[in-house]
Amino acid sequence: MDETADYTLEIQIATRFLDEESRPDDDRYVFAYTIRIRNVGRLPAQLVSRHWIITDANGRVEEVRGDGVVGEQPRLEPGEDFTYTSGAVLATAVGTMEGSYDMIGDDGAHFDAPIPPFTLSVPRTLH
């Protein structure tokens, strides 16, 4: 019997500091993050919206909600993936992001796909 869940996403994240767009003297640190979403479930699903919780090193929390990602609402067949790059601006050299994608299956089932916490950090800031 197939034990694969109907709806499961695998999420991989890579981050980088954008030195050329940042202005540390003005408390402006710009980061890019690239996310790869892979449908490892049995059924197709579409990304409808996103919810981010962004926390800087001062403990300031910003919540961001919006439709899709980078202007798209990708539909993923089992085994398919979607990769996109976006960005965040922090007032500190270190911060974290986490959240979730609101997904809908072809059968109308809604589910949240958690985005695991990840760190945004200027190189050589963390040990």
CA distance 75 to 34: 18
Q: How far apart are CA 85 and CA 35, in angstroms?
A: 6
Amino acid 2: pLDDT: 55
Check whether 113 has a pLDDT greater than 60.
yes
CB neighbours (10 Å) of residue 125?
14
Mean of all residue pLDDT scores within the chain: 95
Express each pLDDT in 19-46 by its tens digit: 999 999 999 999 999 999 999 999 999 9
Cβ neighbors of 71 (< 8 A, separation 6 or more) are none
Output the pTM of the full model.
0.91
HSE on the CB side for 40, CA within 13 Å?
11
Task: Tell me the average pLDDT across 44-57.
Answer: 98
Name the amino acid, one letter, at 66: G
